[in-house]
Amino acid sequence: MSPNSLQVICGGTFKGLCDSLRGTIKFYKICTESSLKQKDKKKKKTNEPSLMKNILSCCFWNGGVFLASIIGFNYVLLPIVQEMIRLIFGDSVYDGAVWMWINRILSWTFNTLWVLPLFVVSKIVNCFWFQDIADQAFKTTRGRPRHLPFSTMIADTCFSVLLHLIFLFQSMLASLIPIEGIGMFIGLLHMSLLSSSYAFEYRWFNMGWEVHQRVTCVERNWPYYFGFGLPLALCTLMFSSQLVSGCVFSLLFPLFIISANEAEMKVGDVFSPFPLKLFTPSAQLTNSIFHFLTSKTKKSNH
């Protein structure tokens, strides 16, 4: 790789990293502008919640309810139960197999009756909050969204969800490469691009872009999107628990939606000397699955 190519890649990564912080810096300004527009709408008797209210509600649910309950169980309730067992039965039970089974039963009960249902509900609720936050941020700074036709929108959404799931599985496989440091970096590269794609998808959707346009944009400018998604990927990968990682992701993601909306990324910009087609295998597999399901549906109708 030539020094000039390396300079372009490093520059694109740095710009993406800087743009990812733009939402945090401009957060208050955008919310203030949205609130002013909301006051004008209230005069017209519309009850649409403000951008700040949506973000605070999202943060309260993911941080105040979900994450706090997990932290409270692991760092407050379990230590209290441990200490009570030690005082009642002595150190032999506390250090032995009895406590191991009690710990497992309590954890299984808590996860089954509280964490998992709450996690599923939060995923559904967050989808609506994320979309509202993205729409309001786009309207505040960029104007009226250009939505796709309804049938195209449904197909696009289903394709995108499946694409992200397959790409997530691809990133898990890539991280298992048995070369020290290489597998970890490739996994981090995948997760950073996935985080960027997920954040920018709301902006692209409001611009009327279809899936193939979004995939091409990420692959052509992968250093930029790697830098943009790097902070979010690092924040979520530092936790061993998938539930806690998902909660942290949902807690921080609204800021990255605003960052993606405010990013100084133009259609003609190029931040890489060559495309990196990491999304292509997942996109081809997703396309094959859709073709298979479509053909099955047509045959069943006939």
Give the pLDDT confidence score for residue 302 in this predicted structure: 59
Token look-up 């399901």 returns: 293
Residues 6+ apart with CB under 8 A from 215: 163, 279, 280, 283
Least confident span in 39-48, 125-134, 164-173, 278-287 = 39-48
The predicted model scores a pTM of 0.73
% of the chain surpassing 90 pLDDT: 10
Amino acid at 159: F
Task: Provide CB contacts within 8 A for 70, sequence distance 6+.
Answer: 115, 241, 243, 244, 247
pLDDT at 156: 77
Round the average pLDDT of the chain to a whole number and report it. Answer: 77
Question: Looking at residue 94, what is its pLDDT?
Answer: 54
Among candidate residues 250, 154, 269, 271, the one with its CA nearest the CA of residue 199? 250
Please state, in angstroms and rounded to a whole number, the distance separating the CA atoms of residues 201 and 102: 45
Looking at residue 250, what is its pLDDT? 76
Q: Can you give the pLDDT at residue 124?
A: 64
36 sits in which H/E element:
helix 27-43
Q: What is the pLDDT of residues 210-227, one digit of tens each?
A: 888 889 889 999 999 999
| Cβ-contact 167, 279 below 8 angstroms | yes
Confidence of residue 129 (pLDDT cuts 50, 70, 90): low
Q: Which amino acid is at 279?
A: F
What's the confidence (pLDDT) of residue 126? Answer: 63
* Contact indicator for 232, 188 with CB cutoff of 8 Å: no
| Exposed / middle / buried, residue 7 (Cβ in 10 Å: 0-12, 13-18, 19+) | exposed
* Segment 244-256, tens digit of pLDDT: 777 787 778 888 8
Residue where the block lists tokens 């979010």: 232
What was the pLDDT predicted at 1? Answer: 61
Most confident of the ranges 23-27, 225-229, 265-269:
225-229
